[in-house]
Amino acid sequence: MVSNGFTYRDVHISTFNAVLIACDEETADVDIQHYNRPYYVAGGLASRPVLGAKRFKCAMIVSGDDSDVLNTKLTLLLGLLSPSAGENYLKFDHYTDRQFVAVVDSSARVARLGSNVAQIEVSFMVPSGFGVALVEQSGSIVNSKFPSSGTVSGSAIAPAIVTITATTSGSYVQVWCTNTVRTARLNRDIAMNDVVIFNGVTGEVKHNNVNVESALTAGSLLPALLGGVQNTISITGVSCTATCSVLGRFA
C-alpha cells in the first residue's frame, strides 16, 4: 500500500519535503499489561484486553535543496517521530475517513541516498487496533433507529452517548442497543423533563447533570453501536425524546 503521506501530531510529513513510498499494515503482538485500555461497566472500571493491535511500517523519502537543507529537514522530521512523544493521532492520506491513535514503537532508521536525499523507516503501533472516524455522527433516535437514515460509520463496535429527555415520569430508564446486545438500566425516579445521559465514551451516567452510576443495575453495559448498519436503540421506563452521538470505529 503506497500513498503520498500522513499526518502525525497534527503535522503532515510534506512539511519536511517527505513522501511516503511504502506503508505495510500488519497485526502486531502486544504486551496487554503495558497497553491497558479501560472500559466502563456498572460497579467500576475494568481493563480491556487489546484485540487486533496493528503496526504500520512506513518508509519515506526526504529531500532538500542541498545537504544542509536536508539535514535540517531530517532533524525536524525525526523530532516529530520521536517515541518519547507518546500516543498521538495518525492519519494516512489513503484513509480519508479515519485516523488512528498510535505510538512510534522504535527509533527511526535513516539511510542517506545522496547528498540531498535520504530514506527514513519508522514503525507505528496502534495498541487499540482500530481506526476512529474523523466525523462524529449525531442526531435523534427516530422510531428506535439511529441514524434515522443511513448507517453508523465504520466496521466495528463503537461507544456511544445517548441523551434522554423524559416526556413522562417513571421509576427507571433503560437503554437497549439491540445490535451490540448492550443494556444499561438506571434505577431512579425520573420526572417529566428530566435529562438522563448514558455516556459510553467516558463511562458516566448523569441525571440532571448529577453523576448517578451507582444506581445502574449490576451488569449494565453502557451504549455502544455496531458500524456499517442502522442500529436499533430501544428506551423503556419513560416516554421520551432521545438523541445519540457516536464516533465510528474501523476494524
Q: What is the pLDDT of residue 107?
A: 83
- Determine the average pLDDT of the residues in 15-22: 96
pLDDT digits (tens, 9 = 90+) for 114-142: 999 999 999 998 888 889 999 999 999 99
- Determine the average pLDDT of the residues in 217-229: 94
Q: What is the pLDDT of residue 84?
A: 87
Between CA 228 and CA 232, with CA 230 as vertex, the angle to 5 degrees is 130
pLDDT digits (tens, 9 = 90+) for 183-198: 999 999 999 999 999 9
Q: Give the Cα separation of 9 and 219 in Å (integer).
A: 38
Least confident of 127-131, 146-150, 165-169: 127-131
**Higher-confidence position of 44 and 7:** 7
Q: What is the pLDDT of residue 169?
A: 98
pLDDT tier for residue 247 given thresholds of 50, 70 and 90: very high
Q: Are 82 and 106 in contact, with CB atoms under 8 Å apart?
A: no
Q: What is the pLDDT of residue 34?
A: 40
Average pLDDT, the chain: 89
